[in-house]
């Protein structure tokens, strides 16, 4: 299961995230997600929740939980959404609230090797290449893409990242109006296969997607066109801030 970014609360601006932030050790939102994974006995990529950093700032953190609630991996959003958008919010400045992460995350599960990314990360192909070089076969992307940027770029970027890295992309996006209608997210949660085909999509509304991933197809695509071995550029490295 893959949940969207800000899966338990979104709000309009970031005041709701600040109010809900807590240390990881006793975070009530984290425990709620652990309870869900245990109740339904699923591997779950738990969107994002706000987690207090040691310096008092906040991470936008995604977890991968096992069916027994064990944390298999965690990832703090690397790229913060500091942009101007022609919508009801207008000015987004995540860095006013959040601090960026410092590592990538790929988790080996019984299903596949899963890489973690979040929302705005989609615009940075170096991250997806780094995840692929670290072994990722499936890359999950919890997101809260705006209506404006989503309509322009969401699907084409998902397909590009899947094609470039010959991997499955599982993208769960928020949908609807938030903060009394001032914020509008795009929806269109979808699964894209390693050839760039959209296997499933939920354009609008609340709901869920279900599909089966064929890792044999992934191997076929990578073996027939081994782009990673053909790439003449150095592997990406994460710059310290």
CATH of domain 15-230: 3.60.110.10
CA atoms within 13 A on the CB side of 214: 10
Give the domain ranges of the chain: 15-230
Pairing of strands 113-116, 138-143: parallel
φ/ψ of 173, rounded to 5, equals: -115, 140
Active-site residue list: 5, 77, 119
- What's the pLDDT score for residue 13? 63
Query: Could you tell me which residues are beta bridge partners of residue 107?
Result: 114
Task: Identify the three-state secondary structure at position 58.
Answer: strand
Task: Check if the beta carbon of residue 114 is closer than 8 Å to that of residue 140.
Answer: yes
Handedness of CA 187, 189, 190, 196 (dihedral sign): positive
pTM of the model: 0.95
Residue with tokens 């994460």: 238
**Which residues touch 49 (CB under 8 Å, ≥6 apart)?**
6, 7, 8, 20, 27, 29, 30, 33, 61, 63
- From first to last of the 241 residues of the chain, give the pLDDT tens digit: 999 999 998 865 677 788 899 999 999 999 999 999 999 999 999 999 999 998 888 999 999 999 999 999 999 999 998 898 888 778 888 888 899 999 999 999 999 999 999 999 999 999 999 999 999 999 999 999 999 999 999 999 999 999 999 999 999 999 998 877 678 999 999 999 999 999 999 999 999 999 999 999 999 999 999 999 999 999 999 988 7
CA-based radius of gyration for the chain: 17
Q: At what angle do helices 155-165 and 125-133 cross, to 10 degrees?
A: 30
Q: Find, among 228, 215, 220, the residue nearest to 168 by Cα.
A: 215
- What's the pLDDT score for residue 12? 59
Number of Cβ atoms within 10 Å of the Cβ of 194? 24
- What's the pLDDT score for residue 182? 76
Q: Find, among 81, 127, 131, 78, the residue nearest to 101 by Cα.
A: 78
Task: Check if the beta carbon of residue 188 is closer than 8 Å to that of residue 216.
Answer: no
Q: Which two tokens stand for residue 145?
A: 């893409």
Query: Could you tell me which residues are beta bridge partners of residue 168?
Result: 138
- What's the pLDDT score for residue 240? 83
Task: Identify the three-state secondary structure at position 166.
Answer: coil
């Amino acid at each position: 299961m893959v949940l969207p970014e800000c899966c338990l609360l979104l709000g309009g601006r970031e005041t709701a995230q600040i109010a809900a932030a807590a240390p990881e050790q006793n975070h009530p939102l984290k425990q709620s997600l652990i309870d869900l994974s245990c109740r339904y006995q699923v591997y779950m990529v738990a969107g994002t929740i706000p987690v207090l950093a040691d310096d008092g700032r906040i991470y936008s953190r995604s977890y991968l939980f096992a069916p027994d609630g064990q944390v298999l991996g965690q990832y703090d959003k690397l790229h913060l959404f500091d942009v101007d958008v022609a919508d009801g919010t207008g000015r987004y400045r995540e860095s006013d609230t959040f601090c960026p992460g410092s590592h990538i995350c790929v988790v080996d599960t019984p299903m596949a090797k899963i890489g973690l990314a979040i929302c705005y990360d989609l615009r940075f192909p170096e991250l997806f290449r780094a995840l692929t070089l670290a072994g990722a076969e499936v890359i999950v992307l919890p997101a809260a893409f705006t209506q404006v940027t989503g309509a322009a770029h969401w699907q084409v970027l998902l397909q590009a990242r899947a094609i470039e890295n010959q991997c499955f992309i599982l993208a769960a996006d928020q949908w609807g109006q938030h903060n009394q209608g001032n914020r509008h997210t795009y929806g269109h949660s979808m699964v894209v296969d390693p050839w760039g085909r959209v296997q499933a999509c939920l354009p609008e509304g609340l709901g869920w997607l279900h599909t089966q991933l064929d890792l044999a197809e992934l191997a076929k695509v990578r073996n027939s066109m081994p782009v990673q071995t053909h790439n003449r550029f150095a592997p990406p490295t994460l710059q310290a801030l």
